[in-house]
Chain A
Amino acid sequence: MKKIRCLLLSAVAVAATVGLASCENGGDSTTIEATIEAAEKMSETELAAKAVEEIGSGKLIVRSQTSGCAKVLAAFKTKYGIDYDETAAAGSYKDYQLYTALDVVSSGQYYSDMVMIQDIRSLKQYMNDKILYSYQPGDIEGIATEDQNPMAGIYFNKLFMYNLSEKNNINFTNVWQLAGSSSDTGHIGHLSFQSPSTENINMNFLLSMTSPSGISKLTTAYKDYYGADYVESDDYANIGFKFISEYITNVTTFHSSDTTAVKATLPADTDNTVFYCAFAKYKDLIKAIKTAGSLTDEEAATEAAKVLGWEDQIDGFKGFLYKMYPMIPATVKYPYATCLYVRYLMTSEGFTAGWGGEYGYYSANPANDIKEGDKTIDYWKANCLVEDGDYLPTVKNSVVSFVNACIASHS
């Protein structure tokens, strides 16, 4: 009896292991590449006709990390008559959730027609592994070279912000005020920052300090702040590592949510705290003020502008500019319809439907309008550390280990 039991369980375990080991098989990457290439050469009319014929009564599945995609889909449906899956469009995904889900594409399984995803460091790897592809509409001009391959959809920025309250006395002119030591002139002793252990964009921000652009900006700002050139030392591989270490040491609070930080904590702060948060959360502050005071949109915007300080000119950089990318998984069901949708969200009509009229959202197509009162994408590119799609994917785990070790040693 014991032998029968053992045999039965062993057979089950072996079957399970074999089953697991046999899961990997890929999709047909050659076909997708060719289809996308063909779509890139089509005009809007040709692409639309092809898309409608292709999808028929089917539904486009789009999964996105920004809620604007669902609004664009609604406008897209009105314009082209192409239906979409509302439940999938309304889903919320964190970086690791979406990338984990995309792993099924490697075994040839269909997951989604399009994903709007961030974190270029992971994205480039998935492109190299032929999981995700990028479509570039051939007839939309003006998209900068650095926003191509993969094509960027939307820019976001994370800025250093603070409360404009009279009780605060912040004179923020140089990014090295956030590093160094408390004995430095103008040192900012209170810094609120979401931990990069759980926020990939903040990890990429810190990793970008070691990029050629980051090193250049930090070196110039260092000289402006300390009045002397930076001298290489054995303690740090380069000035970027020095800044990362000192910046993390200077963090007073690792806040858990940018939304709460901007909406609730910053407006109440009178401690000269600088918050590093997503500028797109400005709209949440305006809404909170509007609801609290039963104000109109304009009144709420006026009140919010009295609270949020973000327009300082800071030597070095004001923050970090990063992108979200419309990507096509290898197992896409409706490639032409997907390409048409991507093309649509790059147009003024599509972008406005999804993200128009809000602070902190910028199309990679410079022809698309920004929120009145905000700065142009060219301004942010000049004044922020920009996500470097060529550098970040090459960053080794040793740099990530350095950042994590700095955080774990924080006291």
Chain B
Amino acid sequence: MKQEARNNGLSRSRRSWNNVLSYLRQPAHIILIVFAVFLTLSVLLPLLSLLRDSLTIHIGGEATEYGLSVGSWTFVHWFQLLFNSEYNYSIICFWKPLLNSTLMALVACLVAVGFGGALAWLVTRTNLPFKKFISIVFVFPYIMPSWSIAMFWENFFKNSTVAAAYNQVGMLEAITHITVPEWCVYGFFPCAMCLGIHYAPFAYILIGGVLRNMDANLEEAATILKASRFKILRKITLPIVKPAIVSTILLVFASSISSYTVPAFLNKNGSFATISITMTSLLNQSTTKGMGYALAIVLLLLSVVILAINSYITSRRSSFTTVTGKSGQVSLINLKKKRYVIGTIAVIIVGFFAIVPLFSFAFESLLAIPGSISSFTWYYWITPDQIETRVAGDSCGILRNATIWKAIGGSLLLSTIVALVAGTSGILIGYAVSHKRGSRFANYVSNLAFFPYLIPSLSFGAIYFAISYMNGFSWLHGTMFLLIIVGSIKFLPFASKTGTNAMLQVSGEIEEAAIIEGIPWWKRMVRILFPIQKSSFISGYLLPFTSCMRELTLFVLIAGAGSIITVVLQNFEISGVTQISNGINLIIILIVIGVNLLVNKVTGASIDKGIGG
């Protein structure tokens, strides 16, 4: 009305200018514009590059193979991938592995949401004992690389009846003399389980954050009206946590379907072909790179379908608000006598998958001959001798190795900056998207913010590697700044999803009261919104930090030899000094755990405390 009154009697250009000013006065609009431009350039470019790579002939043999010139446009890669009937290639190497991977990812989602969601509910909504321990320890499986859980699974379940494991006796058989069949050790089931366990903390964090802030009056009102526990869960609790569940499924599905290390590790019997292994195989060969890029697009499209479902579900419901201006209280369900039984079971399961693998890592770094207890030695931790490796600089024992500690410093710096950039951007995007929910522009920014997660890390890193060699961008090459840009974009999806979910929970009336009082936007963010959703926002910082600390594939082409710890780790791994690489892995995990505890100490909030620990 005010704007209309101002516009009456003005020229058209003046009216337009007023409209622009009015538009830009809203912080949500400015945020959307800034991120729309930035993400279009930084995300759309790799996407278009990936698409182009799936439709052009590359250097390295494709020209000879297909009789076309390098750089020419063609659908041959797609045809070869989808419809090649020679040796039933497309069926055996594409369609069947695609089905395998999709089913594996879906089961992993089930395990992650079921396990993580159930635990989140127990911790936030009941009087379960040992909450602090469970909350602190349950995030460990995500902090560990997924292949370490796979390695632990194999070491635990392999036994003398499994030929693919060289008939070696694993922990279960050694302790209990129980042997499990081969399908429990290698193949579909263990891959799905390991991925589900690895990503269960996602569900725990996202669902738990929503449950923590949910007003218990809703459930209590239903109880008074004599609704059964199951009905309350179905009609009240689940609908409220639906966006968190869908976000978890989205993140877990996208990660699981393209997971390479777990299926590579747990497919020693060659019985379970997955699409990620096919993709790696295609990208490895210079005559099939185009097919590899086409496959990357297919994976991306699958995840886009889930993204579309997510958008549809969140846009249908009018509100997911759980935090309002009215007082909210949390009352816990009394588990009565069963609380200690349930608590003990939870502690055993969580401890088993979270702590035992850490000991396994530590142990492997102390054995000169892997798997041979008689070769126990502190050598790889304390020796001053220069071990023969291809690592630049020091290659002595871990504790004395200046190269390792310098690289750890580099990784900490990189991960901290990436966490701050991605986390803050995620909050801002979440704010803008929640305020303009349903608008096409907000959907565009929200979806674009998630796309980096869907692009394979190898391709993403390779694209920015190529950009760093282009005229005008060569100053980026080999710099920490390039790593920060790539890391911030790649890990933005975590932060944007948690930021959006957190903002969707907050009722508009809280901010409206502050607006009426004339409080500036930045103060509303810092003094009101951030403190209310501190636990969710902290997750938005810690998830990129954790992912960045243990990321290798994304940075392997663009990072210098000793600049970050994961590259140093690979060098030791390739040099055959697996003891040191296992030791480095242990250090990375302990550092991330330590940072989590430090954040808890400094801010008073952390993932575990926010969810009821």
Contacts and interface: CB of A to CB of B under 8 A. Distances in A.
Interface of A: 1, 5, 8-9, 12-13, 16-17, 19-21, 23-24, 67, 70, 86-92, 95-97, 99-101, 103-104, 106-107, 109, 111, 119, 121-122, 125-126, 128-129, 131, 190, 192, 195, 197-198, 200, 203, 251-256, 259-260, 263-265, 267-269, 271, 273, 281, 284, 287-289, 291-293, 393, 396-398, 400-402, 404-405, 407-411
Interface stretch (B188-196, B331-339, B352-360, B387-395): B387-395
A215 to B, nearest CB: 19
Contacts of B84: 401
Contact of B465 (A8, A13, A101): A101
A103 B166 contact: no
The 10 closest A-B pairs by CB, nearest first: A90-B392, A67-B390, A292-B375, A410-B270, A125-B61, A292-B368, A197-B281, A122-B286, A259-B576, A264-B370
Nearest to B168: A268
Interface in B263-307: 264-265, 267-271, 273, 277-278, 280-281, 283-288
22 contacts: A19-B45, A87-B561, A109-B474, A121-B61, A126-B286, A192-B166, A195-B277, A197-B277, A198-B280, A251-B270, A252-B163, A253-B166, A253-B268, A254-B267, A254-B268, A259-B578, A264-B371, A281-B576, A291-B375, A396-B65, A404-B89, A404-B92
Contacts of A197: 277-278, 280-281, 284
Interface string B402-419: 000000000000000000
A393 B61 CA distance: 8
Contacts, number: 240
A253 B61 contact: no
Nearest to A67: B390
B288 to A, nearest CB: 6
Given A254-B267, A397-B287, A292 B560 contact: no
Given A90-B390, A198-B264, A291 B379 contact: yes
A67 B561 contact: no
A254 B379 CA distance: 30
Given A16-B40, A87-B561, A408-B97, A264 B372 contact: yes
Given A200-B284, A405-B88, A260 B370 contact: yes
Contacts of B92: 404-405, 408-409
B595 interface: no
Contacts of A195: 270, 277
Given A5-B441, A292-B369, A100 B557 contact: yes
A254 B392 contact: no
A16 B463 CA distance: 13
Interface string B64-103: 1100001100000000100010111100110011000000
A128 B271 contact: no
A121 B286 contact: yes
Interface string B549-572: 000000011001110000000110
A334 to B, nearest CB: 18
B301 to A, nearest CB: 19
A263 B59 contact: no
Contact of B375 (A88, A121, A269, A288): A288
Interface residues of B, number: 89
Contacts of A288: 368-369, 375
A131 B70 CA distance: 13
Nearest to A89: B392
B368 A291 contact: yes
B60 A405 contact: no
A206 B537 CA distance: 52
Nearest to A290: B368
A265 B268 CA distance: 13
A104 B471 CA distance: 12
Given A23-B466, A97-B556, A288-B375, 9 more contacts: A20-B45, A20-B48, A67-B388, A87-B562, A107-B469, A259-B576, A265-B371, A268-B371, A401-B93
A265 B562 contact: no
B370 A125 contact: no
A106 B57 CA distance: 13
Given A291-B377, A400-B288, A23 B470 contact: yes
A104 B469 contact: yes
B93 A404 contact: yes
A273 B285 CA distance: 29
A126 B96 contact: no
A402 B92 CA distance: 10
Interface string B298-319: 0000000000000000000000
A131 B375 contact: no
A260 B578 contact: yes
A92 B574 contact: yes
A90 B264 contact: no
B5 interface: no
Contact of B40 (A12, A90, A264): A12
B184 interface: no
B603 interface: no
A345 to B, nearest CB: 16
A122 B62 CA distance: 10
B398 to A, nearest CB: 14
Interface in B204-219: none
A8 to B, nearest CB: 7
B575 A90 contact: no
B568 to A, nearest CB: 10
Nearest to A88: B561
A200 B557 CA distance: 19
A197 B89 CA distance: 14
Contact of B284 (A96, A126, A405): A96
Nearest to B284: A96
Contacts of B556: 97
A380 to B, nearest CB: 22
Contacts of A86: 392-393
A209 B76 CA distance: 27
Contacts of A1: 19-20, 23
A331 B132 CA distance: 59
Contacts of A289: 369
A20 B49 contact: yes
Contacts of B61: 121-122, 125, 393
